[in-house]
Amino acid sequence: MDALSTPPGGLIGGYQGGSVTIQILIVVFSAIALYNAVELVILIFLTFNRFRGLYFWTMLLSAVLGVIPHAIGYILEFFSRGPIWLAVTIATIGFYFMVPGQSIVLWSRLHLLVQNQKFLRRLLYMIIFNSVILLIPTTVLTYATVYVRTVPIIRAYNVMERLQVAWFCAQEILISAIYIYETAKFLRLRPTKDPARNKTMYELLSINIIIILMDVALLVLEYLGLYTLQTTLKATVYSIKLKLEFAVLRKLVSLVHVRRPESSSSEQEEYPNFVDPEQIVGDVTRAAPESSGRGRPQHPWSAAISLDSLPISSGQRSRLSSDTTRSRPP
């Protein structure tokens, strides 16, 4: 019997490989994913001033209804805790919010750089279309593999599972590549002697390359037939990718927003290094429309980032506003 005709290890009857190392890795990966998801939820509510907007909700739902159920579902499945239908259902719900949700998170921040609304809509339609044609058949084949277990169904599930992982990987790589390209275009508009230009560019490139490499690692595990490791590692990878999103957003907002004046250490909140709550706002998913008049052109980020949404005092906001006014050309 070839590999495609064999049920994935762990999907039926739990993990039966007998390897203590694999069992420990299942627990470790799941624990890391759950820890990252809980920490991310806390950071989201500590960072955002306004609990609204596509970026906020996709980040929150990807963690709460995505990473957490996905990790718990596969723990129940691989260790045969409870009925199999419950474990599969919980894991499937988590997959729905975690994997397509990651693509929506990647898409939502493109509004800060891309002004072509038609292009953005087409990209969103692609994400929705891909999710529908991949999730529905895979879900049906998953339950059929668990309860019917015929060779044609098992082969169809294995083929669809590999296709789904490869397709979502390619989709996320495409969105990340668009982001890298648009960021490079934006940075070229900055003065060539700006010392922060190259540093910021390399940081953004590094973060996005790390995200792409993690997608490729999952794809390699899938095609090597390591179903157990791939499914448990997936929750960990996506929880890390969501946390890296905070780093990406912080760098992006620092590029398109004026710097705050230096303040005393007593005025600064203590946050993790990858979060800058003074730069992130409640809704970063809508770019400003292009100016139709002859006056000063609208910056693409002006409607998405405002002084009112920054978590600073009114006196600091007034000083920042006056500094920004003085810095404008006549």
Q: pTM here? A: 0.74
pLDDT range class, residue 256, cuts 50, 70, 90: low
Are the beta carbons of 37 and 63 closer than 8 angstroms?
yes
Q: Rounded to the nearest 5°, which phi and psi values hold at 286?
A: -130, 120
Q: How far apart are CA 90 and CA 236, in angstroms?
A: 16
Check whether 41 has a pLDDT greater than 60.
yes
More confident residue, 302 or 16: 16
pLDDT range class, residue 119, cuts 50, 70, 90: very high
Range scoring the smallest mean pLDDT among 25-39, 42-56, 157-171, 177-191: 177-191
Return the CATH class of domain 8-256.
mainly alpha
How does the average pLDDT of the chain come out, rounded? 76
Q: How far apart are CA 242 and CA 67, in angstroms?
A: 10
Q: Model confidence over 282-306: pLDDT tens digits?
A: 444 444 444 444 444 443 333 333 3
Beta bridge pairs of residue 10 = 14
Are the beta carbons of 164 and 138 closer than 8 angstroms?
yes
More confident residue, 40 or 326: 40
CA-to-CA separations, 12 to 83, 154, 157, in angstroms, rounded:
11, 11, 13
Range scoring the smallest mean pLDDT among 62-71, 77-86, 127-136: 77-86
DSSP secondary structure string for all residues of 172-199:
HHHHHHHHHHHHHHHHHTS-TT-HHHHH
Q: Which sequence spans correspond to the domains of the chain?
A: 8-256
